[in-house]
Structure 1
Amino acid sequence: MDRPRFKRSFLHPRHWPLWLGLGLLWLLVQLPYSVLLLLGRALGWLMFVFMVERRRVAEINLQLCFADWTEQRRAQLLRENFASNGIALFETAMAWWWPRKRLQKLAQIDGLEHLQRAAAEGQGVVLMSLHFTTLEIGAALLGQRATIDGMYREHRNPVFDWVQRRGRERHNADALAIEREDVRAMLRSLRRGRAIWYAPDQDYGRKASVFVPLFGVPAATVTATSTFARLGKARVVPFTQCRLPGGKGYHLHIHPALEDFPGPDETADALRINAFVEQAISAHPEQYMWVHRRFKTRPEGESRPYAKRKRRRRRR
């Protein structure tokens, strides 16, 4: 995709409320990091109180994945998770607008040699990531040290889309944004020896998925990771990041490439992926995006655990 360009239509009055909100966020994010963490936790509390539907989704996910935990323990995790979601808003703004040098001071990176070795050998990499609340800032911090392309879904609002893409791509002038549905472009990039950020830990429906356990619960798990690795002749390199306690920044961990992957059986591959997902989530469960409907697609005859979404009426 071409680099995002500013358009005069972005200045139309209908976009002024968004510009005002983005401007306020830009001003807030100039505050010290310790203050932003506090503001994020306060925002997370408001989200916990008012985002009832999302809170219920997270509650159900925690009940399914940590059935052996006490209700009190899950309730505490839920509150911490919403605090993490609130902090994520400011982390996103930091990733988009902080000066690079200020941002770099927060990063601790292990395993960069796995990406460097693949790049030196001209080997494509599926950088297998997870939907943690820290994913935006994690990608930005890694993008300052390595060329990482990303799967991209265009936002409906053109102004927000421009701001988002500009913020994401500023850390690496050579990075590419690839449409999520453009599989051919992704495979071409992998065959050219590029690394592409990809997260297989969400429910993308029954098509091209297999049911394998995730925390003991059958979960529709995409087989695309195996397909990309096989057709793109690429290595699968897991990547995780976490927010460190005490305002010490972020730890980014690039793991060794999965051995003998993909295998002859896509279901076995999906089992390996979910085993890694479980391990990564268990290390920092409060920082995972539990508000997503991970178990919405069910095996035949099994009911969905979530309530139906309330559809908004379209204005005529």
Structure 2
Amino acid sequence: MSKKHQYESGKFYWAFLHPKYWGIWIAIVFLMILAILPWAIQHRLATLLGHLAFNGLKSRRETTIRNLEVCFPEWSAEQVLENSKQVFVDQMIGVFETLNAWYSPQWFKDRVTIEGLEHIHQAKADGKGMLLLGTHSTMLDAGGYLCAQFFEPDVVYRPQNNPLLDMLIYRCRATIYKAQIDHDDMRGLIRHLKDGDAIWYSPDQDFGLKQGVMAPFFGVEAATVTAHRRLLKISKAVAIPLYFYRHGDIRNPKYHVLIEPAVEPMPSEDELADAIRVNKIIENQLRIAPTQYMWFHRRFKTRPEGYDKIY
């Protein structure tokens, strides 16, 4: 149950018919209509909305530009600007891809390939749970849907503050994921891992040093979470890198799921070494499709004494 409100995630309550929720119901109907539009129209709308977001969201725009300047020093100022704009476009494309996954999944038929599925099968054969180390992709739940075509993933999620929105998103995700685990439910997360589940987990954001260590990310020291080490140790699960991305002609896109061999040993006796390895895995993933990542998060916001400020 969410700590944000008293309602249970995924459950309908008659209170949701109160007039204060009517705006959300109308918005949901509108989004369902968007999901059945031809891809050509969805793409044009996403491009327009992406440009509007880039121009209108000053703080997010500046953070994105700064992140790309820091992580891709080989890019010129023009390349940084163009790729920053594309991050916002890809985010909006990801919204439409997620709507398609929720309401019009047949759109993905014959568009998805996978590499490395044998690593999932091997972990299952060994009776191991799997912590799938991924990223905060702009594809959102569309990525989960791609994975669900080949195996049953779980997802760690943060309940929405609005209970109706939380119920609607939870139900949409229920068609994709085997289980949805509240990010505060560590016991539930460990239980699912012990049961042999494959859980999509993204250790790629800055949560300060109470939950991690400083480790290089694209050559720059960044606060790196290490909670997954404890999860792996307690559950005896394996850490398997997972990445998915869009490629090919945007007018007729294809999607690829990349699963890499389990990281061994993980956890090791060295917390910093583990953080460095995980950051390098994520870095290599992001270099495949750099703009399909949420660069508008302040990845380098934690700067201990002696470290230069990034933002």
What TM-score, normalized by structure 1, do the two folds share?
A: 0.91
* 2:287 aligned counterpart, secondary structure: helix
What is the deviation of 1:33?
2.2
Amino acid at match of 1:168: R
Judged with a 3 Å threshold, the aligned counterparts in structure 2 of structure 1 residues 160 and 105 are, in CA distance, closer, same or farther, namely farther
What is the deviation of 1:303?
5.6
1:135 to 130, 133, 140: 140
> Is the contact between residue 100 and residue 107 of structure 2 (CA under 8 Å) also seen in structure 1?
no
Q: 1 CA distance for matches of 2:294 and 2:52?
A: 17
Judged with a 3 Å threshold, the aligned counterparts in structure 2 of structure 1 residues 144 and 159 are, in CA distance, closer, same or farther, namely farther
Amino acid at match of 1:189: H
> Is the contact between residue 95 and residue 168 of structure 1 (CA under 8 Å) also seen in structure 2?
no
Partner of 1:12: 18
2:163 to 158, 165, 178: 158
2:36 to 25, 30, 36: 30
What is the deviation of 1:157?
0.8
Partner of 1:310: none
Partner of 1:148: 153
Indicate whether 1:181 and 2:181 are aligned: no
1:296 to 284, 295, 301: 301
What is the deviation of 1:229?
1.5
* 2:37 aligned counterpart, secondary structure: coil
Q: 1 CA distance for matches of 2:9 and 2:65?
A: 40
What is the deviation of 1:82?
1.3
Amino acid at match of 2:96: F
Q: 1 CA distance for matches of 2:126 and 2:217?
A: 34
* 1:291 aligned counterpart, secondary structure: coil
* 2:266 aligned counterpart, secondary structure: coil
Amino acid at match of 2:128: Q
Q: 2 CA distance for matches of 1:111 and 1:3?
A: 33
Indicate whether 1:220 and 2:219 are aligned: no
> Is the contact between residue 47 and residue 86 of structure 1 (CA under 8 Å) also seen in structure 2?
no
Partner of 1:119: 124
- Which piece of structure 1 moves more, 259-268 or 115-124? 115-124
Q: 1 CA distance for matches of 2:12 and 2:263?
A: 41
Q: 2 CA distance for matches of 1:104 and 1:194?
A: 25
After superposition, the C-alpha distances for 1:165-198 in whole angstroms (9 at most, x for unaligned) are 11111134xx121111221221121111111110
Amino acid at match of 1:160: L
Q: 2 CA distance for matches of 1:248 and 1:85?
A: 15
> Is the contact between residue 125 and residue 193 of structure 1 (CA under 8 Å) also seen in structure 2?
yes
Query: 1:189-200 residue pairs with structure 2 within 5 A?
Result: 189-200=192-203
Partner of 1:237: 240
> Is the contact between residue 241 and residue 252 of structure 1 (CA under 8 Å) also seen in structure 2?
yes
Partner of 1:83: 89
Q: 1 CA distance for matches of 2:257 and 2:207?
A: 26
Partner of 1:103: 108
* 2:114 aligned counterpart, secondary structure: strand
What is the deviation of 1:232?
1.2
Q: What is the number of equivalent residue pairs in this alignment?
A: 303
Q: 1 CA distance for matches of 2:150 and 2:40?
A: 25
Partner of 1:57: 63
Amino acid at match of 2:210: K
Q: 1 CA distance for matches of 2:104 and 2:124?
A: 28
Partner of 1:208: 211
What TM-score, normalized by structure 2, do the two folds share?
A: 0.92
* 1:126 aligned counterpart, secondary structure: strand
Q: 2 CA distance for matches of 1:198 and 1:5?
A: 25
Partner of 1:171: 176
- Structure 1 stretches of 4+ moved >6 Å: none
